[in-house]
Structure 1
């Protein structure tokens, strides 16, 4: 009996030792690391203290306020017990990689100065006034206060070590920097100035026989208006500080000079400078960040830090500054969010403003990551090979993101076995040319990537990048240099200034199925450049402009597509690409072997949408394509009736019999959530009256969700 008791005790001890009892540990700006105990009533002051006592499963609850300490997590959680760092419910937590600078005094005219030690590496220095990004003193000035207009002066000549230009300011630019964007406009580069006159700038030499300088140097002439040999601006000299929102830092005297927007002395606490490169660094496994706001510094998940999650966070001005002065690759590794760890999940986040990339996932270190439901905007102000989302890792899922405003690519995914789906990507190529809303480059490998149900739209290359008689090279989907093994289906491309599809060099095993192209400059083009293209298919695609590309009998198999300047859609000009009843695309597609796609009628429709099928949308509020119509008839669980017609002041929704509590949401066809109304109480067999007087004329989607998880959808037309 004693032996049995001892065995039970031993088993209990092993079980108890394996159970993790999670602890909530509080941090607050008014906490105390010495006298506090980490409770809500007596919180710690620093993240460092909280982390020092945390174990797997613990939750660090951060109270509202501004924190200037970086969140540096070096411990590990476990698969069932993450280390979690989250904002307290309903409270705003800001973790800033900036410090405030005060003690301002007059310098000269509208310029003020203060003493500060900006110890960060010079190319990551940044200054903010009232949370707005300031320009490092420059010429020509940024007179429109728009970071997308690069405000350069034309280059008239030069080589790999100097530029010539007219009417340069008569100051000594030695030690300053020159930004150069070639006439080709594919990428920029920056170098240190070694000597100057009013017509010449000498700089640290680059090798114009090698990429990226070969097409981007002043010996390359293009027939572009006022931009035959590229353009430049000069910056980082105190003598150039002569305009609103400019600054300069003298590191020999630790003096910061600033001219504010209105020329007045900065008020106390209104100016901040970048004190550190990172606002957060994750160096352990199974770490979770939730609901945190980061400003002025990036978030980095380090190499071998795996299985981490960044959820519902914001990163504003995550990676600001200028290009690396020795860069020879037209790209940098920095981003607002840098991912070097496997199995990372980034979901529900907002990333806004970055001089370089928004999210970078480096394939040499990271694989099997998910990027879903994020807003990413205002990325790549320096116009290099950077992207709002830039991934070279394998096994990526890039889903339901809304991306807008990018200097070059809207999205770049170059790994293998990746899914890119339901993303809404727009307004790319705001500085560079020869790129795509979706862009990638290939190699000898078949990628086995699937690009489906995305919206790629509204991208126009800048006027300085091309002759007015030529298209601005902003493509919809650009599979560049040897891209192989892509299945591209059910995407919509509209309002792009170049090809709907652009494919270059040795492209093989590219399948373009069921896509819609509207208002591109041309449907498709390719720069073959002497390579072989083969085993590519173009089936069931629609474009309102021509043509599909083919030069040989074996490069592209082109079947059952339609090119017509007559719209077969319900309202293409308002981005409703559902086939109109009886139109030229209905039942006119082919059955594609080894490709599954639901259809109604006698055959699949041509284009990205199926008549009587799902009116799917893209972006963070995406409605997925189930193959079933969102129009619900009277026998379905929900029916929508408009009273009165055609004006329509209320939408009467007959709720299903089992409905109790939940919500009703109204979306535009672009996936934008317009209105959400909660429903409480037992409403069985009742009518929900939803006012629609504030809606403009158009087609809308309605989604009603009950608290038990059931979902009912339909669409209605506001006349």
Structure 2
């Protein structure tokens, strides 16, 4: 579902500067370039030579002028690097480590003082510092929370689920933990889970509910959706923080700001006095805002960011930044501004690492700014609206040969950007915390010819995660020669209005659908002026589907797209149908080999280009292996049905599988899978009947709304699941909330995992529906349990007044080509149109 940014569009952030170490020099700066030296063993009274260095960066910043180079000796500097003046074109001011030495700029201060045992393995001390982020021996520790999450992985933490009764003002959950959480913070993904938000906790009642300190109801209603997509509701994930009551696990800590008491349980359970305990105290390690021609190389930065706000011609190169920004509580609207920021013009970050940020890892605005050969990962670990890399409102920005992965929401977000280039980037593991986003995403954006090209976009396995997502009211983008694979959403999604895009020579594999579109209610769907050509896609391309393309006169120019065999790296194989199957696209297909351009991102026999940074972060999880190997498979039949993981196969067209009593009443429906299970009447014996020639000339099993068929308990361990059901209901009859099919483990709620179900359309007021194919895939967490056809599995109610023709259940997620093949088989057999 498409969604605009919540609230008003944000203005370009111009953050307040952290208090630094610099006083503006009144002395005259020498014209001749100089070398200046800094060392923790130096003295600011020294002349700053190699033999007699300064002690602080602040002293060097005070004196450095155009053409100067400041050499920084090994050590950790707890200050903000802020030059007193700008360099000049051709004569920049440079900061870099002495050869072979490791320099760390820290936004943290040490916590010192006597530690004493508070209770068990929890220690405490008194401190005057105030903070929301704490490190032990250089690793970020989680603030005391519920549910518990061990330290280590910023992107994988446990979340509870809101219960019935949750709304704008209150979160209800019978599992709320004991203790007093009043005054703490709840981080929740409300409504459709597109974004997260925080509220302070009031009126906390363990095992019942808590009240938000302010409502989630917006003053201005969403004009695009019939209901509020941000209204908290049952099932929404959330986390509690900010109470000593939550400190019950190794690695956790809590600060009582009223008394200045810090509580800490180390991972080893020993005294914190045996460790280096630091807390965040500064937002910026380097502040180049409003400066020009300053270059910083080779520094490590921890617990703080770098500001190039309104800078010009500045460079950050070969720097490693970790834990650049942290926040756990923000007010209404957008979260706090990022701390890594580039605005102004003609600035560049080159070969830099950004690892760890609560919201965006880097925001690029201004004009002509660049990020090249860099790595960004484990960012937006709060699941905020922001992307891992945010190019909002930038003009002419270039992001080239970067690797961006493990992000809470979009990996690269570019709302309001103009004339940008996103090229040769490797983007994966997007949307790890939220729902419905894109690895590359914008909404309401006139790209003015912005280019998205030569990227790898893959393995984006969060809920409804699109590869390249140009959301509603976006136009004038050129999307070409990208390889998109293994995403849970569309490969490329162009939501209406989607005007004047050129989408050509992309390879899209291992997705549920290669293209997708959506239009808000009360708007006219249009893709006018958009051209979609030369794309190498899987067999799930359906030009006549309104879910993939706008139909009719307002639809796109759509031709020369189709399947073809590729190897594991996505290159067309010899003899592939993709070879020479395209058409010339001026400016983009020059130099093709053979009689015509190939379909897809690679030309057979041409350059095997690669994407992403040319170096790795050794501390990052490894990238998933490439395996795009694909060859269009022919139609399957009953004899060649996909067999691996097939657990249930009920087929009403196979008379040998149905035992029928008087009046056509079904007494047994035998399973054709290797398990050979049998579905028998669960209640109202005789109410479920076989009806001849009811669907495409074939028989069906029909329920009257009072009976069902049930298979006994099957697999109980949660795992993957794929379900296909062919069903129809010719009349609007029967009770509300009818189940077509359901699986129940006997515990919990039947509509929550590991249980599962397929509901009849218009559940509360059942409507008739023509023959259709329901397909359900769950990658993990589902159990077969007790399977009931034509009714609920947790009870004998909600029985279907309608027909079921065929059911297939697999205990795994089918490959995209297997899924497509089974769907084609069922649609062809039962006469179901796309």
Aligned to 1:106: 117
Contact 1:332 1:386 (8 Å CA) reproduced: no
Partners in 2 of 1:399 and 1:32 — Cα distance? 42
Aligned to 1:130: 137
Partners in 2 of 1:192 and 1:262 — Cα distance? 31
Contact 2:388 2:409 (8 Å CA) reproduced: no
Aligned mate of 1:202, from 201, 207, 211: 211
Q: Does 1:591 align with 2:584?
A: yes
Q: Does 1:27 align with 2:15?
A: no
User: How far apart are residue 144 of structure 1 and its match?
Assistant: 7.8
Aligned to 1:459: 460
User: How far apart are residue 577 of structure 1 and its match?
Assistant: 1.6
Aligned mate of 1:249, from 242, 250, 255: 255
Map 1:595-634 to 2 at 5 A.
595-621=588-614
Q: Does 1:266 align with 2:268?
A: no
Larger Cα-atom Rg: 2
Residue 370 and residue 145 in structure 1: after superposition, are their counterparts in 2 closer, same or farther (change >3 A)? closer
User: How far apart are residue 167 of structure 1 and its match?
Assistant: 2.5
Contact 1:313 1:349 (8 Å CA) reproduced: yes
Aligned mate of 2:345, from 342, 363, 376: 342
Aligned to 1:351: 354
Partners in 1 of 2:138 and 2:473 — Cα distance? 43
Partners in 1 of 2:444 and 2:90 — Cα distance? 38
User: How far apart are residue 184 of structure 1 and its match?
Assistant: 1.5
Contact 1:188 1:216 (8 Å CA) reproduced: no
Aligned to 2:468: 477
Partners in 2 of 1:382 and 1:545 — Cα distance? 37
Aligned to 2:565: 568
Aligned to 2:814: none
Residue aligned with 1:527, SS: coil
Contact 1:617 1:670 (8 Å CA) reproduced: no
Map 1:146-161 to 2 at 5 A.
146-156=153-163, 157-161=165-169
Partners in 2 of 1:481 and 1:260 — Cα distance? 48
Contact 1:66 1:95 (8 Å CA) reproduced: yes
Q: Does 1:579 align with 2:590?
A: no
Partners in 2 of 1:525 and 1:68 — Cα distance? 50
Q: Does 1:142 align with 2:149?
A: yes
Aligned mate of 2:195, from 179, 187, 195: 187
Q: Does 1:375 align with 2:381?
A: no
Aligned mate of 1:217, from 219, 231, 235: 231
Residue aligned with 2:580, SS: coil
User: How far apart are residue 620 of structure 1 and its match?
Assistant: 1.3
Residues 307-341 of structure 1: CA distance to partner in whole angstroms, max 9, x if unpaired?
A: 211111111000023141x1313x44214x21232
Partners in 2 of 1:310 and 1:144 — Cα distance? 30
Partners in 1 of 2:501 and 2:435 — Cα distance? 24
Residue aligned with 1:434, SS: strand
Aligned to 1:527: 518
Map 1:45-444 to 2 at 5 A.
45-102=55-112, 103-119=114-130, 125-143=132-150, 146-156=153-163, 157-198=165-206, 199-209=208-218, 210=220, 214-219=228-233, 228-283=234-289, 284-302=291-309, 304-324=310-330, 326-329=331-334, 331-335=335-339, 337-362=340-365, 366-392=366-392, 393-414=394-415, 415-443=417-445
Contact 1:323 1:382 (8 Å CA) reproduced: no
Contact 1:56 1:81 (8 Å CA) reproduced: yes
Partners in 1 of 2:142 and 2:221 — Cα distance? 29
Residues 575-626 of structure 1: CA distance to partner in whole angstroms, max 9, x if unpaired?
A: x12211222111111112454532011110110000111000001129xxxx
What is the count of residue pairs matched by the alignment? 573
Residue aligned with 2:240, SS: strand
User: How far apart are residue 669 of structure 1 and its match?
Assistant: 9.9
Contact 1:61 1:86 (8 Å CA) reproduced: yes
Residue 169 and residue 670 in structure 1: after superposition, are their counterparts in 2 closer, same or farther (change >3 A)? closer
Residues 394-445 of structure 1: CA distance to partner in whole angstroms, max 9, x if unpaired?
A: 01111000111111111112311111110011111110111111111124x3
Residue aligned with 1:553, SS: helix
User: How far apart are residue 115 of structure 1 and its match?
Assistant: 2.3
Partners in 2 of 1:18 and 1:171 — Cα distance? 61
Using structure 1 for the length normalisation, give the TM-score.
Answer: 0.76
Residue 172 and residue 211 in structure 1: after superposition, are their counterparts in 2 closer, same or farther (change >3 A)? farther
Partners in 2 of 1:270 and 1:305 — Cα distance? 35
Partners in 2 of 1:376 and 1:332 — Cα distance? 19
User: How far apart are residue 371 of structure 1 and its match?
Assistant: 0.6
Residue aligned with 1:49, SS: helix
Residue aligned with 1:51, SS: helix
Residues 84-104 of structure 1: CA distance to partner in whole angstroms, max 9, x if unpaired?
A: 111111111001111121332
Residue aligned with 2:554, SS: coil
Partners in 2 of 1:211 and 1:89 — Cα distance? 58
Partners in 2 of 1:52 and 1:379 — Cα distance? 34
Partners in 1 of 2:391 and 2:371 — Cα distance? 10
Contact 1:100 1:269 (8 Å CA) reproduced: no
Residues 149-189 of structure 1: CA distance to partner in whole angstroms, max 9, x if unpaired?
A: 34222212222221111132232222111111125221110
Residue aligned with 1:21, SS: coil
Residue 240 and residue 259 in structure 1: after superposition, are their counterparts in 2 closer, same or farther (change >3 A)? same
Contact 2:372 2:401 (8 Å CA) reproduced: yes
Runs of at least 5 residues in structure 2 that lack an aligned partner in the other structure: 1-27, 616-623, 628-834
Contact 1:172 1:195 (8 Å CA) reproduced: no
Residue aligned with 1:617, SS: coil
